[in-house]
Amino acid sequence: TKSTSEEVVATSSDVMEEVKEKKEESEETTPDSSTATDMVQEVQAKHPLQHTWCLWYMENNRTRKWEDNLVEITSFETVEDFWSLYNHVKLLSEMKSGTDFNLFKKGIKPMWEDQYNKRGGKWMVTLDKYQRHTEFDRLWLDMLLCMIGEVFDHPDEICGAVASIRGKGDKICVWTRSSQNKVANLDIGHNIRDRMKLPPNMKIQYVLHNDPTPNSKHGAVNAVYEL
């Protein structure tokens, strides 16, 4: 299996080969060197995103400290680099239980204690077991595209998203900066429902990262909002 760095290098080589081919074709059809330059620039042009995003991987290895299980894989800042990365990473439905993929804005770690997360919370989309191979991958991709494309209302409130692969039911969560910003959080919740095309019977819940109240029963969460 290729490492991420090897795959990025391979992708870069493909782009450069395409540039070379475009340049050779233009030189054969016209003596005007400026045309070749224009074509090279067209191939090389990339579409920048509003933010740089970092992909993190988490594996629940209980023999190590929690922080040691969290690994930053790579970062990207253009549309083209996002697709290059996405196409070289395993689908969530192919990952083993107990692992997480985290996509966060550069400078924000996917941990509650981070200064940008500690006063916030998250919207949780919980899937049934059977949905891993029918909906999980689609929902995660929809979430990523909305997030990096700044489609959600109040994009400055978005910190990142987490996909958790679990035997009892997978989860996709969107982390927001401030749990006190009711308007922003509710708007983002409605965005999630609409953009991910969730059925009416699938509820999503907003919970605090640092909830001081105990759960009402085992496995339950204390939802601040539910849509």
Could you state, in order of their start, the residue ranges of all structural domains in the chain?
4-44, 48-226
Write down the mean pLDDT value for the chain: 84
Longest CA pairwise span in the chain (Å): 77
pLDDT at res. 1: 45
- β-strand 158-165 against 99-105: which pairing, if any? antiparallel
> At 66, is the secondary structure helix, strand, or coil?
coil
pLDDT at res. 37: 60
Task: Specify whether domain 48-226 bears CATH 3.30.760.10.
Answer: yes
**What predicted TM-score, i.e. pTM, was given to this entire model?**
0.78
Residue 18 has pLDDT above 50, yes or no: no
pLDDT at res. 27: 46
Q: Is residue 226 within 8 Å of 206, Cβ to Cβ?
A: yes
**Nearest of 86, 165, 88 to residue 133 by alpha carbon:** 165
